[in-house]
Amino acid sequence: MLVTMREILQDARVRHYGVGMFNTFSVEMALGVMDAAEELKAPVIIGSAEGLLNCCDMELIVSMVGCIARRAKVPVALHLDHGFTESLVRKAIESGFTSVMYDRSETPYEENVKCLAEMTEYAHKHNVSVEGELGHVVFDNPEDTGYAYTRPEEVTDFVARTHVDALAIAIGTAHGVYKETPVLDLERLRAIRKVTDVGLVLHGGSGLSDDDFRNVVRDGIQKINIYTDVSFATSQAAHDWVETHDKKIENVSVAMRAAAREAALQKLRLFNCEGKA
């Protein structure tokens, strides 16, 4: 069933579990993630980032995931991840996404607050949830060097003025492939959790250890973003199938879906979300 992110995260906060948000780029990835969620009877969020939409039409993503979600027996939210431009985020809201992230984390604090408050007001009129980011989690490119940890003392004001439904925080993770083993600031996470009831989001989940996942869920994270691990598993499955079997696209597609399912299962089992749907 297709629902809002707010509904999923509210339940996750009350029942102390994490929800996987899996960015997908193909029908095989989306179906594989759904296979995993339904097998575990777990709520799930399927997303697509602005960067991925440069290669895949937004309306097609909404149609594809919307169809999959409406057939699902577990709650599913359709999420726009890292929408950087106002026009694209508004288009996502109008196109059928049930959740959007408006990422203004690289702007000054007051500008971030102003932009998010305006977008949240618009989104809530359409029954769409909004995620903001306070602090800045860097991307996997040499130009993005501005990591900024989330300051707990700013969280209450930020949430109160923006009315966001979820807050992405910076506690030591990064997007993409880690060059060094990340060290998570769990004390910072616990301090943030103490001052807000809003759903907390961890970006850069791919590459963390099993213990990292268990610890962040224990200490108050509700939403965990995953892309790289599932993406790599899916593309590797396609490569391996062609190398060892045949080049029939229907067979490659089946192998990709199975790989996405297995990668998603490995993550979801760590989030304490099994049986929560």
CB 98 within 8 A of CB 79: yes
Binding residues: 82, 103, 133, 175-176, 203-206, 225-228
Write the CA distances from 162 to 115, 134, 159, integer angstroms. Answer: 8, 11, 5
Write the CA distances from 234 to 116, 178, 230, 256, integer angstroms. Answer: 34, 19, 6, 5
Concerning whether 35 is annotated as a catalytic residue, the answer is no
Concatenated DSSP letters of 197-232? -SEEEE---TT--HHHHHHHHHTT--EEEE-HHHHH
Binding residues for dihydroxyacetone phosphate: 176, 204-206, 225-228
> Which candidate in 11, 35, 57, 81 is catalytic?
81
- Tell the residue number behind the tokens 């909004």, with chain if given: 130
Tokens of 56: 């895949």
* CA–CA separation, 4 and 253 (whole Å): 29
Binding residues for Zn(2+): 82, 103, 133, 175, 203
* CA–CA separation, 201 and 108 (whole Å): 20
Residues annotated as catalytic are 81
